[in-house]
Amino acid sequence: MKPDTDVYDELPYDDQTIEQIRILMHKNMYNPNLLNEIEHMYSNFKGAENSTFPKNPPVIFFIQANHPAAEGWITEHEKQIKDSVHGKVVLPKGGHYLYRSHSKEIVCVHLTLHRLVSYTHLDNKRCLISLVEGIG
């Protein structure tokens, strides 16, 4: 397993911080919980394959737009929220670690879903302006 550190190249981290993150990734890579997850990955996927979410709770999936690992990955997630009143699938372009590279967009979608701000597309500037105007 090779940890993906390339995601930090575009973010405003200095070399010392990136090195600390790399050290933590290697330390955590062999965590017993992670090893257990890997060992049971196939059975967990099979067990969740036909699962859906309840109708009312908000569910947001952030899935990389061109997911390379599994055929039908996006479709399977869309099926899981098909009956959800507040379900949403967001497909940003990026790598596996979207929460690192698209954190502002994720916050904006979350705030929009909870009606704290409103905007029509993933525009970080507009989201942040709306949030400030909503507060002030």
Average pLDDT over residues 106-126: 60
Which residue segment(s) compose the domain that 33 sits in? 1-39
Residue 73 within a domain: no
Tens-digit pLDDT profile for residues 72-97: 888 888 888 888 887 888 888 887 77
Average pLDDT over residues 105-131: 58
* C-alpha to C-alpha distance for 7 and 130, rounded to whole angstroms: 28
Residue 79 within a domain: no
- Number of domains observed in the structure of the chain: 1
Residue 2 within a domain: yes
pTM: 0.60
Lowest mean pLDDT among 82-91, 94-103, 105-114, 127-136: 127-136
